[in-house]
Chains A and B, each alone.
Chain A
Amino acid sequence: MSTAIGSKNVKSDNKLVTASLILGGVVIAAMMIFGILMLFAQGGVINVSDAAFYQFLTIHGTGMIGAAALAAAGVMWYFLGKYVELSKKVFIWFLALVLVGVVLVVIGVFSFEYASAWTFLYPLPAISANAWGVTGALLYLFGMLILGTGFLLLYIDTGRAIIKNYGSLGKGLGWDVLSGKKRVEDAPPKAVVASTMVTIVNVTALIAGAAVLIMNIINVINPSFTFDPMLAKNLTYAFGHIFANAIIYMAVIVVYELLPKYAKRPWAVTKLFLVAWTMSTVFTLLIYTHHMLMDFSMPKWMLIMGQALSYANGIPVLVVTAYGALMVVHKSGIKWDMASGLAFMSMLGWTIGAIPAIVDATIVVNHVMHNTKWVPGHFHMYMGLGAVVMLFSFMYYLAKIDSNVQETKLDKFAFWCYTIAMMAISIQFLVSGALSTPRRWAIHYPGWMTPAVFGAIAGVFLVIATTIFIIHFLRYVKNRGTLGSDLHEEKAA
């Protein structure tokens, strides 16, 4: 069933996908500015009030993950739609609900001074030491709930479409191939396997998130309703970890689709590939406990599992996806342009970001690294230099195949500017973590300031590069439907 079925109305579908990418891209750029302001404030360069700093922190974390997930969902929808029949109505509902959610979150944070960080760790939304009130908390929590509902609708639809076409989610992951019931040549395409994985993990994550959000909402309205803070924390990290991780698993479809086309080499689905994606499905669901390694009251086996499976979670990307990408590119005479260059760079970002992540998942290391800036160090690397770069790669790809907008030297400048700046930002976070600098601190002691200032300056270059990427994409949107390249979109890899 790996035949590309395409969509009845590619142009209209592309409009929806570009809407998600524009919204996602612009919000990501805006969130970068809050990141820069926080780093300058920590570096002692500018004065930001404590209230404003933690509002920036809340909006930066929530906005970055939300925006990247939105754009990545657009990418997944675009490629998955070539193999299964997806509902356009559901995608429109998804976009609308996300937009409503974002508006509520922004009003809650900036008009009602809500600042719980994205983690909204129970019972902080209700116990703010008078920093924010019930209205702010409810706007944020309901905003998140509506946003999550939008995503849940989308994944219910992707799940429905996959089951309709392939029989079950297990078959979407290629389990019938692994069990020998089907030939590997008939395995589902890479986009379907990845989308099945994301559907499974994100439906789980969103249900966990909705549960803890609703409990927090009731607690904010009626503080006499209480619940177990450890259960709340488990649900919060099960939601946050899985949802954030799934961004890269949605966006990586770009790499699977683009690199073989550009290198003119096949990147076939193998049994090893299917095993790797099943491993990723299981590990992604289970390893959120590595966020709770400093919760000594948790069952010890869960924390040991958190470490062991976090180590194991590096194997699929290091042995299968990154290695496969390198094989496809090696001595291929590949045609490098912005899309292929960014796709390749994103694999580097993901892979090197996995290293400090694995290190931090080691319990004895986490004992002195947890909630230091080491943590944003590793996730800025695999999100900022991995997942988000995949999104930009897709933007350039779409512009190439669906318009006559040419890439310029400015785009090439932006490529290197973005790469170096994002690398610098990630490294300064890691250095800060190694220096024991706590994360989520509005002020820094003098010994912690220098890396923050360095990161803020790098952030300015990052925003410049991102703006160039987005301007190129907006030029495409204006010229959509004009001359495309020979890498026609319907030729799925």
Chain B
Amino acid sequence: MVQTAAWVTSLVFMSLILIVFAVVAWKSREKSDYEPIKTKWNKARKVYATTLVTILLVACIYTLRELPYDLPIYGESQDPTLVDVEAVQFGWIMSETEFKVGEPIEFDVTSTDVTHGFGIYDEDMTIIAQTQAMPEYTNTVYITFTKPGTYKILCMEYCGLAHHYMVSEITVTE
């Protein structure tokens, strides 16, 4: 799950930084000449900077391989189901709300008033995809559900006082 990966990655690097700061704070009670410290740690900085840039570069390129904006490659007999989604204060108007597992779907999302956010939540209330619902623009979410169940659509962009009531449901069957 992406959320878990994000959380674990953040926790690991944040803990590392915390440890480094704690060690430096602890060692600050000692007093040494600055010149040797500068020489040593300026040298170390080159290794650290190279490692950091490499990690960032690899992570950036790796995560850019597949983007949610890209049209998926469908099989020969697979035509995606096109669903018109219109956001209004404070509800969702959808041309279809019942789908099958394995059915490729394209949610074409727009809004008739203000900006909203189209967020799809699974039965565990974990968000699995989203896009912005904007007036004058249509954003497409490409999704193929792999599990049956009742999914919720939540508004993910503040749109007025009933923003949190802007919830709808879609059903996915075997």
Q: Which residues of A contact B (CB under 8 A)?
A: 50-51, 54, 57, 115-117, 119, 121, 123-124, 127-129, 131, 228-230, 233, 263, 265-266, 292, 294-297, 300, 303-304, 307-308, 311-312, 314-315, 318-319, 323, 326-327, 329-334, 336, 344, 347-348, 351-352, 355-356, 358-360, 362-365, 367-372, 374, 430-431, 433-436, 438, 440-443, 445, 447-448
25 contacts between A and B (CB under 8 A): A50-B162, A50-B164, A121-B157, A121-B158, A127-B89, A127-B160, A128-B160, A294-B117, A295-B139, A308-B64, A315-B52, A323-B41, A326-B24, A329-B28, A330-B28, A344-B21, A348-B21, A352-B14, A362-B59, A364-B2, A364-B67, A365-B63, A370-B130, A435-B125, A441-B164
B85 beta carbon closer than 8 Å to chain A: no
A230 and B137 contact, Cβ closer than 8 Å, known pairs A50-B162, A127-B113: yes
Proximity bits, B1-44, A CB within 8 Å = 1, else 0: 01111110110011001101100110111111010011001100
Instruction: Name 7 extra pairs, CB < 8 A, besides A127-B160, A307-B63, A440-B163.
Output: A129-B161, A233-B115, A323-B41, A329-B28, A330-B27, A367-B129, A370-B156
Q: Which of B25, B121, B135, B137 meets A436, CB within 8 Å? A: B121
A368 and B135 contact, Cβ closer than 8 Å, known pairs A330-B37, A356-B10: no
Q: Which of B4, B67, B161 meets A115, CB within 8 Å? A: B161
Q: How far is the CA of A312 from the CA of B126 in the complex (A)?
A: 30
Cβ A367 vs Cβ B114 within 8 A = no
Q: How large is the interface on B (under 10, 10 to 19, 20 to 34, 35 or more residues)?
A: 35 or more
Q: How far is the CA of A129 from the CA of B139 in the complex (A)?
A: 24
Residues of A contacting B73 with CB < 8 Å?
none
Q: Which of A315, A331, A356, A440 meets B56, CB within 8 Å? A: A315
A445 and B7 contact, Cβ closer than 8 Å, known pairs A228-B136, A311-B59: no
Closest residue of A by beta carbon distance from B3: A434
Cβ A332 vs Cβ B34 within 8 A = yes
Q: Which of B27, B117, B140 meets A296, CB within 8 Å? A: B140
In the complex, which of the residues B4, B117, B163 has the most CB atoms of chain A within 10 Å of its own CB atom?
B163
> Chain B interface mostly helix, strand, loop or mixed?
mixed
Cβ A297 vs Cβ B24 within 8 A = no
Q: Which of A311, A348, A368, A372 meets B129, CB within 8 Å? A: A368
Residues of A contacting B156 with CB < 8 Å?
294, 370-372, 438
Q: How far is the CA of A351 from the CA of B14 in the complex (A)?
A: 8
Residues of A contacting B114 with CB < 8 Å?
121, 123-124, 127
In the complex, which of the residues A319, A371, A433 has the most CB atoms of chain B within 10 Å of its own CB atom?
A371
